[in-house]
Chains A and B, each alone.
Chain A
Amino acid sequence: MNPTLSHDMSVVSLITGASVLVQIVMLLLLLASLLSWYYIFLKIFTLKRATRLADDFEREFWSGSDLNELYQRAVNSRSSAGSLERIFEAGFREFAKHKKQSGMDISVLMDSTRRAMRATYQREMDRLESHLAFLASVGSVSPYVGLFGTVWGIMNAFRGLANVAQATLGHVAPGIAEALIATAMGLFAAIPAVVAYNRFAGDVNRLATRFDSFMEEFSNILQRQVH
């Protein structure tokens, strides 16, 4: 090692100069970061769209249009329907089926309707929550992975110090800087993942509350129709 203090400290040289294990760790973190950002953007798009579709459907639903007409439209545009529309469709289908068989107990009718809506609701929630687990694990694990790379790099830096008679800061500093890059990358991957996870979990929760309350209100409307 050159004892003069003129080490090249640019980011590129720090990365290329690191040991193999640290480089593997950095590669891993880079992949995790790329993937988590991919999911972050994907989730931004899908959640935005889900909220917009739910807004649209709620507006339409509460503007007093005919339930049968709404149902027909939901069936026709199934592929582009929002979650709320699908819940409505499942519930109304079940309700209409049972209504044809007259002489059915009203509580049984409402129960099966509600079950049908609940099943669709679960499916929709699962879809909305997909990939959130990945963001959560990136957010919690990648700092540790980066720390591991750093510890390894610092171990190497100090081992290189063992056969130097005069240990100056100039001997260890480049090695430590190299190693710390790994922690920086781990944090770089983790921070957006954690922030995005919290944000998306909140968004999904609010959507879930809306779906829940819609299901309750819709059940009430259907029950009133039976009488």
Chain B
Amino acid sequence: MTYNDITPNERTMAGALALVMHLLFFVLLVFGVSWQKKQADPVAIVDLWSTLPPLPQPKVETPPVAEAKPPPEPPQPPPKAEPKPLPKPEPKPVVKPDIALKEKLEKERKQKEQETAEAKKRELEKARELKEKQAKEAEAKRLARDQEEALKKLAQQQAAQAAAQQKLIDEYKGRIREKIKRFIVEPPNLSPGTQVEFDIVVLPGGEILGVKLKRPSGVAAYDNAVERAILKAQPLPLPPDPALFKEFRELNLQFRPEQK
């Protein structure tokens, strides 16, 4: 029996339908499903702050020292003072032998002239050397100054960064304290001097791993109220930069009753 049950038409049709199905599904998956959900704040509490906490600082790249301006061009050495061409000794006309004295005088004069010219030359050279030396010294000085300035700048920047970080850390510590404070339900009749100290271990998400009463206030009710408040304040507000988290891993917090 030589029959063909499946017609080629059906084959192409089935193939095309399968392709269309997959394409449709893929398109639906890509454009229909948005998996990037906006992170909703789990606690709907509005924190009121006079200043906004600074945004996470972009990683400060240390300004490379070498980059700070190429050292200025060394000052051009002054154009070489060309030694004056010696006055050419003119060829003497042959003088008569009877004027020997004159000749002698002439000779002396010539020698003198030569000497003065040499001295002049030496002097000029000396001056030039001196000038060059000075220029070199100035250049070295300037380089050193530049370097020093760059270093100073870097140090300043680092200090500023550290200060900003410290400010951020302090702000967030303040926020944590504020948040906890909001949850404290104070027992009545507290003496104003009461103070309680807690050690808290915090997890990266702001959850609290452990709360330890470090120094009790002496009023057990107040201690308990604060501990409950700490647990209630989860998740604690933490700075968005994870590099700062190590400052918040272990917190030591002190609380005293609100002054009425």
Please report A residues at the B interface, Cβ cutoff 8 Å. 3, 5, 8-12, 30, 33-35, 37-42, 45-46, 78-79, 81, 86, 123, 127, 166, 168-169, 177, 188
CB-defined contacts of B29 to chain A, threshold 8 Å = 11
CB-defined contacts of A11 to chain B, threshold 8 Å = 26, 29-30, 33, 35
Residue of A nearest to B19 (CB): A34
The 8 Å CB contact of A3, one of B14, B15, B35, B242, is: B242
Further 9 A-B residue pairs, CB within 8 A, beyond A9-B35, A37-B22, A42-B14: A33-B22, A39-B14, A40-B18, A41-B14, A45-B14, A46-B5, A46-B6, A81-B3, A123-B1
Please report B residues at the A interface, Cβ cutoff 8 Å. 1, 3-6, 10-11, 13-15, 17-19, 21-22, 25-26, 29-30, 33, 35-36, 39, 204-205, 242, 245
Residue of A nearest to B30 (CB): A11
CB-defined contacts of B11 to chain A, threshold 8 Å = 42
Residue of B nearest to A184 (CB): B29
CB-defined contacts of A86 to chain B, threshold 8 Å = 1
CB-defined contacts of B39 to chain A, threshold 8 Å = 5
A41 touches B13 (CB 8 A): yes
- Majority secondary structure of chain A interface residues (helix, strand, loop or mixed): helix
Alpha-carbon distance between A11 and B3 when the two chains are bound, in angstroms? 45
Closest chain B CB from A94 CB (angstroms): 15
Alpha-carbon distance between A38 and B18 when the two chains are bound, in angstroms? 5
17 contacts between A and B (CB under 8 A): A5-B39, A11-B29, A12-B30, A35-B18, A37-B17, A37-B22, A39-B14, A40-B14, A41-B18, A42-B10, A45-B6, A45-B10, A79-B3, A81-B3, A123-B1, A127-B5, A169-B205
A168 touches B5 (CB 8 A): no
Alpha-carbon distance between A123 and B1 when the two chains are bound, in angstroms? 10
Alpha-carbon distance between A166 and B204 when the two chains are bound, in angstroms? 8
B15 touches A38 (CB 8 A): yes
Alpha-carbon distance between A35 and B21 when the two chains are bound, in angstroms? 12
CB-defined contacts of A35 to chain B, threshold 8 Å = 18
Alpha-carbon distance between A127 and B18 when the two chains are bound, in angstroms? 22
- Nearest first, the 4 closest Cβ-Cβ pairs linking A and B are A41-B14, A37-B18, A42-B14, A38-B18
B18 touches A46 (CB 8 A): no
Closest chain B CB from A28 CB (angstroms): 14
Given contacts A33-B22, A38-B18, A168-B242, contact A9 B10 (CB under 8 A): no
Given contacts A9-B35, A10-B30, A166-B242, contact A34 B14 (CB under 8 A): no
B10 touches A166 (CB 8 A): no
CB-defined contacts of A79 to chain B, threshold 8 Å = 3-4
